Amino acid sequence: MSEPYNPIEIEEKWQARWAREGTNSFTEQELREAERPFYNLMMFPYPSAEGLHVGNMYAFTGADIYGRFHRLQGDDVFEPIGFDAFGIHSENFALKVGTHPMELIPRNIANFTRQLKRIGAMYDWNHTIDTTDPKYYKWTQWIFLQLYKAGLAQKKEAPVNWCPGCHTVLANEQVIAGECERCGTAVEQRFLSQWFFLITKYAQRLLDNLSWIDWSETTKKAQENWIGRSEGAEIRFRVTSPWQAQPGSPGAEALEHAVARHADEFEKMDRQERASTTFVQDLYIDVFTTRPDTIFGATFMVLAPENDLVDWITTPEQRRAVDEYRNAIAAMDVVTRKKTDKEKTGVFTGAYAHNPATGEDIPVWVADYVLMDYGTGAIMAVPAHDERDFEFATKFGLPIRRVVAGPGDNADTPLATAYVGEGTIVNSGIFDGMDWRDAKRAVIEWLEQNGHGRRRVNYRLHDWCISRQRYWGPPIPIIYCDACGTVPVPEDQLPVELPYVEDYKPDESGVSPLARVESWYRVPCPNCGRDARRETDVSDTFLDSAWYFLRYPSTAYDNVPFDPELTRKWLPVDMYIGGEEHAVLHLLYSRFITMVLKDMGYLDFEEPYKRFRKHGLLIKEGAKMSKSRGNVVVPDQYIQHWGADTFRTYLMFLGPYQEGGDFRDKGLQGPYGFLKRLWDSIVPVDQLGSDKPSGDIEQKLHATIRKVTEDISELRYNTAIAAMMEYLNAVRENNRQANRAELEPLVPLVAPFAPHLAEELWERLGHSTSIFSGNNWPTFDPVIATADTVEFVVQVNGRVRARIPMPRGISQDDAQVAALKEENVRRYVDGGTIRKIVFVPDKLLNLVVA
């Protein structure tokens, strides 16, 4: 009777040994001397009170496997972990349970650390980060100051997203479909003075680099869409109001009213300028359009209700109606406002503007479907070729003129709805007959030549609002002095420590709880020494995480944010794995901060992550995991029962890592059985016979090594595990006695997934050092590996459903039989009839099913 597999005992033994011998951590000297540095990074967790979620565990395990795989190939793999512990989430929880975050967070971190150690990832606990540690956020504040010095941090009045639930402003990226991504409350728009990072200055570069960085395609696409570059033209329409402000007329009164609102601008003019300014005659409405080719179809204009121009142009007759409309819109919440399917509303201003192409005076309306935050807050409406303009024109009886003819249409074909497709330009004077793309270029040229507009690129990306009216974050290192104005805190006075505040609850006031702590915010001005006042807002938690990867190798040094020599050696990050929900938040912000630091000479690279791969998401027994459903998988209980090795292997086996999968309790049995069988096959070491693999096993072994190697490097963990299982089954078929040469190579192959078991087996096989301490990854001979097996791509209706190894030269019939044994193929064939089979010998089988 052989010794039973006891995962709990083995795992405890190896975790203790790894900690004792520093197997997974670098000394400072090792970090400097590493010959084959490989920086393997995963998104650090926010340490919630609930403990490590299975979602974290899934992400981390997949990342750890990749790191261990590189290490087994002889790389010096640096795999740090830390805690993203500032932010509203932690603070809200602290408020809920009535424990101060300064007490709660260290407790959560201790719990997370315990759990992270239990899963057997090879974290370097010598180099860890807690963003709430003043030693860390000192440098977060330093980064703010660098941006401030570079003119990239500005305080400006702007419409911002205010979450009434969290009592703070949010970045655009934190508003999902009009709701707060944290608490789900409908977000309001407020006009507040806030700190912004001018990320828009980097919009083009952030976009351009997407063409060469090696990232998951969907993540790149998400960034591209978020940056939202569009090419078009800015076009000027001269306002030709009917009233033209005769002195003493009601119009002049309206004009005075408008001037009063624009007192600042008026103030800046000298006397002569003021005297010669006939505001109304000089008024223009600038619009941005991506379709300048449709300018002949612009039959009216629409301004956003918030657009100041409304004050200037509204005629006295229309003023009351316009005011009422604007007030009604101002009272509306953003979610309702931004709904695209609601009925169009609006009001005529009484004013007209001159369409430079047609020479017509077209009416100017105010309507809430035009927003201030894209382009100029004004549009030229082309109802024939824009759905919203079409609805609006139909409702208010405004003219609709076709200027693009689709296939089969002519200039007079009536429109039942907006035509938004491609076509030929019609009803457009000299541009008639052109393809719309050519017309776009030609119209822009014509506009530029005649002074009516210019080519322009527009971005959807907005500046990053980084100030938060909350307590739990690093104070923004700025001091306000009546004499000197805005004064940055001198770098040698960093960190500006977050004080312990008993009452840190946020309120409706729009200022941070720190504004209630006079003893903290009253300070002498660093310039003149007079009484001054600290900025009381704290910075966004996404600033903490926008640079953390730079800090890990340098955690031993308090005099620099990141040591130049270590940074050159270890950065940029070689592999980064994380959730795609951060595509336009963390992943975009950290790229931006890296570019800025490069431009300032602190870094010699501008993209922080050489390779980024997103992981998929888990569901539980077919349903989304959530606390309210009570089906959240708590990793601890599974690990206690099955061991970390089985749990890790199962997580990676339940689906393609980059797509996620369905966690099923009974699913753990399979991976457990595999590990146990491996144990049972190897542990009676002295019974393992001859040292040469038998003939047909040898081919299988090489093919398996190749498949596992290729699969892991592409994060296809589930198929790598399946290949190992299949190999072990073949080796032990009918309880065949396997020999050492057939079994030993499986140990390093399985090591990334089941590191404790692999260490134990490695030791029992007579090795005296850790399996992870040298280049122990097995090699394969491609000739032997391919000898008689080829990988068939099996498609159903042209879509790849499986890749199956089959004997070289297999017949079409046999290949079909083999293919139909695959569950994933059968699933798509079942219920249909195979109408046609495409067979490419040794390569492809396509089943056409109807």
Closer Cβ to Zn ion, 353 or 466, answer by number? 466
CB of 149 vs Zn ion, minimal distance in Å: 18
CB of 470 vs Zn ion, minimal distance in Å: 11
CB of 226 vs Zn ion, minimal distance in Å: 20
Two tokens at 483?
């004499």
What span, in angstroms and rounded, lies between the C-alpha atoms of 849 and 837?
A: 9
CB of 169 vs Zn ion, minimal distance in Å: 10
CB of 220 vs Zn ion, minimal distance in Å: 29
Q: Which residues, other chains included, contact 250 with Cβ-Cβ below 8 Å and sequence gap of 6+?
A: 243, 316
CB of 165 vs Zn ion, minimal distance in Å: 4
Closer Cβ to Zn ion, 74 or 165, answer by number? 165
CB of 533 vs Zn ion, minimal distance in Å: 11
* Residue 513 CA from chain centroid, whole number: 30
Closer Cβ to Zn ion, 464 or 647, answer by number? 464
Closer Cβ to Zn ion, 182 or 767, answer by number? 182
Q: Which strand (E) or helix (H) includes residue 604?
A: none
Of 66-74, 157-165, 673-681, 820-828, the window that binds Zn ion (rule: CB under 5 A) is 157-165
By CB under 5 A, the residues from 528 to 587 that bind Zn ion are 528
Of 518-526, 563-571, 673-681, 797-805, the window that binds Zn ion (rule: CB under 5 A) is 518-526
What span, in angstroms and rounded, lies between the C-alpha atoms of 170 and 194?
A: 11
What span, in angstroms and rounded, lies between the C-alpha atoms of 110 and 104?
A: 10
What span, in angstroms and rounded, lies between the C-alpha atoms of 476 and 543?
A: 11
Closer Cβ to Zn ion, 165 or 778, answer by number? 165
CB of 484 vs Zn ion, minimal distance in Å: 3
Cis peptide before 572 (omega within 30 of 0): yes
Of 179-187, 246-254, 641-649, 754-762, the window that binds Zn ion (rule: CB under 5 A) is 179-187
Determine which residue in the list 109, 152, 175, 180 makes contact with Zn ion, applying CB under 5 A. 180
Closer Cβ to Zn ion, 72 or 525, answer by number? 525
CB of 164 vs Zn ion, minimal distance in Å: 8
Closer Cβ to Zn ion, 499 or 529, answer by number? 529
What span, in angstroms and rounded, lies between the C-alpha atoms of 18 and 403?
A: 73
Closer Cβ to Zn ion, 183 or 634, answer by number? 183
Half-sphere exposure in the Cβ direction for 119 (13 Å, CA): 31
Q: Residue 177 is which amino acid?
A: A
- HEC string of 423-443? CEECCCHHHCCCEHHHHHHHH
Closer Cβ to Zn ion, 528 or 800, answer by number? 528
From the CB of residue 17, how many other CB atoms can be counted at a distance below 10 Å?
14
Of 2-10, 493-501, 513-521, 525-533, the window that binds Zn ion (rule: CB under 5 A) is 525-533
Give me the torsion for CA of 621, 623, 625, 626, rounded to 10°. -130
Decide: is 183 part of the binding site for Zn ion (CB under 5 A).
Answer: yes
Determine which residue in the list 345, 427, 527, 786 makes contact with Zn ion, applying CB under 5 A. 527
What span, in angstroms and rounded, lies between the C-alpha atoms of 163 and 187?
A: 5
Q: Count of residues binding Zn ion (CB under 5 A)?
A: 13
- How does strand 467-468 pair with strand 284-289? unpaired
What span, in angstroms and rounded, lies between the C-alpha atoms of 295 and 382?
A: 7
Decide: is 182 part of the binding site for Zn ion (CB under 5 A).
Answer: yes
Determine which residue in the list 34, 102, 484, 730 makes contact with Zn ion, applying CB under 5 A. 484
By CB under 5 A, the residues from 158 to 177 that bind Zn ion are 163, 165-166
Q: Which residues, other chains included, contact 76 with Cβ-Cβ below 8 Å and sequence gap of 6+?
A: 26, 30, 34, 35, 36, 37, 38
Of 276-284, 421-429, 523-531, 549-557, the window that binds Zn ion (rule: CB under 5 A) is 523-531
Cis peptide before 495 (omega within 30 of 0): yes
By CB under 5 A, the residues from 464 to 483 that bind Zn ion are 481, 483
CB of 95 vs Zn ion, minimal distance in Å: 13
561 pairs with which residues across the strands?
A: none
What span, in angstroms and rounded, lies between the C-alpha atoms of 521 and 504?
A: 15
CB of 166 vs Zn ion, minimal distance in Å: 3
The residue among 769, 748, 716 whose CA lies nearest residue 69 is 748
Please give the full DSSP string across 375-426, using - where no structure is assigned.
TTSEEEE-GGG-HHHHHHHHHHT------EE-TT--TT---SS---S--EE-
Closer Cβ to Zn ion, 307 or 467, answer by number? 467
Tell me the per-residue interface mask from 19 to 38 with Zn ion, x by CB under 5 A, - otherwise. --------------------
Closer Cβ to Zn ion, 51 or 159, answer by number? 159
By CB under 5 A, the residues from 717 to 746 that bind Zn ion are none
Strands (E), 198-316: 214-215, 230-239, 284-289, 300-303
Closer Cβ to Zn ion, 527 or 631, answer by number? 527
The residue among 421, 416, 379 whose CA lies nearest residue 400 is 416
Tell me the per-residue interface mask from 110 to 149 with Zn ion, x by CB under 5 A, - otherwise. ----------------------------------------
Determine which residue in the list 366, 403, 418, 525 makes contact with Zn ion, applying CB under 5 A. 525
Of 195-203, 526-534, 614-622, 693-701, the window that binds Zn ion (rule: CB under 5 A) is 526-534
Q: Which strand (E) or helix (H) includes residue 8?
A: helix 7-21
Closer Cβ to Zn ion, 187 or 825, answer by number? 187
What span, in angstroms and rounded, lies between the C-alpha atoms of 204 and 208?
A: 6
DSSP 8-state symbol, 304: -
- Which residue's entry shows tokens 């000089």? 282
Of 185-193, 268-276, 376-384, 755-763, the window that binds Zn ion (rule: CB under 5 A) is 185-193
Decide: is 178 part of the binding site for Zn ion (CB under 5 A).
Answer: no
The SS3 call for residue 239 is strand
CB of 209 vs Zn ion, minimal distance in Å: 32
Residues that bind Zn ion (CB under 5 A): 163, 165-166, 180, 182-183, 185, 481, 483-484, 525, 527-528
